[in-house]
Amino acid sequence: MGLEEKIPSGVLLTGVERLAGFMRKSSLWPATFGLACCAIEMMSFGSPRHDAARFGMEVFRASPRQADLMIVAGRVSQKMAPVLRQIYDQMPEPKWVIAMGVCASSGGMFNNYAIVQGVDHVVPVDIYLPGCPPRPEMLMDAILKLHDKILHSPLGAHREKAEEDAERAALMAAPTHEMKGLLG
C-alpha cells in the first residue's frame, strides 16, 4: 500500500517552514518612514493604480508595533538616525527593511556630515532599491524579491544555524591581515 493510497484526494502536503514563509510573505505590514522625495513614490505605490493589496499590504501602519516591514524612503540625517533605530527596535520579530532610493542606500549626492551615508549604518537592510527617485514599479519588484527571500528563509533553530553558517562563510571569504599585507 503506497503513500498515494493513504492520502485522500485534495490534501496538500508541505513543510511548516514553507507554510510559515508563505503566510509571512502574504501579509507584510509596512511602517512608513518617508523622509524625502522617495516618499512620494512610495505613497503612489499605495494608490489604486499599483494595488498594494495584491501583496497583502493594504494599509501602511503608523505604529511600529503593528509593522514588520520598514521602507526607508529618502535621505536619513544624523539627527533622524536614532529615531529610525528606535522605531526599528519597536517592530516585532521577524522584521525586514527596504532602503528605497540612492540616498537611503548610500547617502546619494549628499556626501556631507549631516547625512548618514547608507541606512545600513543604522539598521540591517534586506533589499536595496536604487534610483533617484525609484518608480513605484521598482518598489513592487523589490517587494517581490523580499517575498522570495521571506519564503525561503528558515525558522527557529534552522535560522540560527543558517546565520552561523553565513557568518562562518563571511569570515572564510575575508582575507586575514597577514594575507592583506602580502597582497597589498
Q: Are 42 and 142 within 8 A, CB to CB?
A: no
Q: Does position 159 have pLDDT exceeding 80, yes or no?
A: no
How much is the pLDDT for 163?
A: 66
What are the Cα distances from residue 75, in Å, to 35, 52, 91, 169, 176?
Answer: 6, 24, 21, 32, 34
Q: Are 92 and 69 within 8 A, CB to CB?
A: no
Mean pLDDT, range 161-180, rounded to an integer: 65
Of 41-50, 84-93, 122-131, the one with minimum mean pLDDT is 41-50
Whether the model pTM is above 0.75 = no
pLDDT, tens digit (0-9, with 9 covering 90-100), for 4-38: 566 666 656 666 667 666 766 667 888 877 788 88
pLDDT, tens digit (0-9, with 9 covering 90-100), for 50-107: 777 777 777 777 788 888 889 898 888 889 999 999 999 998 888 889 999 888 888 8
Q: Are 100 and 42 within 8 A, CB to CB?
A: yes
How much is the pLDDT for 182?
A: 47
How much is the pLDDT for 82?
A: 92
